[in-house]
Amino acid sequence: EKLKGDAIEVASFLREVASASTNLNSVIAVRKPEPIPEVRGRQRRTKSGTVYPQPSAFEENSNVGIGNVFPVELGNREPGAPHASIDLEQFFHRCPISGNISCIRWAGSVKGQQKVKKGKPKEGKERQSKKFDHCCFVSMSLEDGFTNVSVKVFCTGRLQTTGCRDGAMSLAACRRISECMRVISQDAMSQKHALIKGEFQASHGNKIAYDAPTNVRLEKESVLGVFDLGFREQGFSINMHELRLLLRHPDNRDRIYKVNVPHSDEKKKVDRFQGVGVYVNREFLGSPNNVFVSIFPTGKCTVTAAPSVAQANKVAEVIGKLVVDLFVQCRKRDLEAPPA
């Protein structure tokens, strides 16, 4: 049962990261390059015949976080460790719909005002949602116009956030859930039905729920965002075919783990909207996982599933330096080549 619960939480986290990545890439991919403004006296080449684009800094704009409301000693899932769990049915029925919380869903039941998604739902989706009882979905709004923040509450005490801008916002969403748990621990039903269950008295379960705002923390996050290689500002776009060949060169094996060829090539879509997917080597980054980057012909790049903002900044630095160096080499090669 423990392994099944862990597998469900991991699969849910990966789905949310993939969904956030798809949304981010779709926005960048369909953004048509604007005309290059002509500036009087501006030269596209330096005296040496090359132009050095200046990559921009990484900018985080989406964050999928994993939080926890249990004390650290109860967060240990090893056999023999103290165990506690959230009664999700009690949480669903007793969590107040107030303030910035607009809706709670659990096992096909809905409390509050559920937002209707655009588009026709897939066949069988409603039936499947009724079996989705391993977590509660809490919809809320946060500052700066973030109105589609969602938090999944698992019985293990773990929380999973989506729709947040950064780690601070993910933590704020988790803290809002912990405040609801504190309210539940003091309501009229708390003495008879403790929210937190385990091998202890109901009063201790209520104390764990009451202390949730003190213990809440962000344990893991997946950072998504964008940076620009600066090619457009110099009047250039990137040749995707040439870039794929250069990134696959053995000299770059220490930095590049894998280069993805987009399936859209087979359909012969407009070349300038196609991107190249690159996995940056985790050993080079000192990261627990390879980090995925999509590079588009305009020079726009998206970073998916970086474990921290610091790692995302390092990924942007690695890709920026590598692609600009390759660009400079190609420019020198073209300039030194004899005329045809």
User: What's the pLDDT tens digit per position in 178-200?
Assistant: 999 999 999 999 988 999 999 88
Decide: 307 and 223 in contact? Cβ < 8 Å: yes
Under DSSP, the state recorded for 100 is: T
pLDDT tens for 291-323 read: 999 998 888 999 988 999 999 999 999 999 888
Q: How far apart are CA 84 and CA 77, in angstroms?
A: 10
* Residue 231 pLDDT > 60: yes
Summarize the confidence of residues 83-106 as an average pLDDT: 94
Sorting pLDDT into bands at 50, 70 and 90, what band is 251?
A: confident
Q: In the beta sheet, which residues pair with residue 106?
A: 109
pLDDT value at residue 36: 38
Residue 8: name the closest of 88, 109, 117, 111 by CA. 88
**C-alpha to C-alpha distance for 34 and 138, rounded to whole angstroms:** 40
Q: Which residue has the higher pLDDT, 266 or 167?
A: 167
Q: What is the pLDDT of residue 37?
A: 43
Does residue 209 register a pLDDT over 50? yes
Mean confidence (pLDDT) of the chain: 81
Weakest-pLDDT range from 130-134, 200-204, 219-223, 310-314? 130-134
pLDDT digits (tens, 9 = 90+) for 21-41: 677 666 555 444 443 344 444
Helix residue ranges per DSSP H, the chain: 2-29, 88-94, 125-129, 167-184, 202-210, 212-215, 240-247, 264-267, 282-285, 309-336
Which pLDDT belongs to residue 110?
A: 94
Q: Do 76 and 69 form a contact (C-beta atoms < 8 A)?
A: no
- The pLDDT tens digits for 43-86 are 344 434 555 788 899 999 899 999 999 998 886 666 667 789 99
Q: Residue 118 above 90 pLDDT?
A: no
Total-model pTM: 0.79
Strand 158-164 vs strand 135-142: parallel, antiparallel, or unpaired?
Answer: unpaired
Q: Is the model more confident about 248 or about 272?
A: 248
For the residues 246-257, what does the mean pLDDT come to? 88
**Would you place residue 130 in the very low, low, confident or very high pLDDT band (cuts 50, 70, 90)?**
very low
- What per-residue confidence (pLDDT) applies to 44? 40
Give the pLDDT of residue 136. Answer: 95
Question: Quick check: helix, strand or coil at residue 252?
Answer: helix
Asked whether residue 113 carries a pLDDT value surpassing 60, the answer given is yes
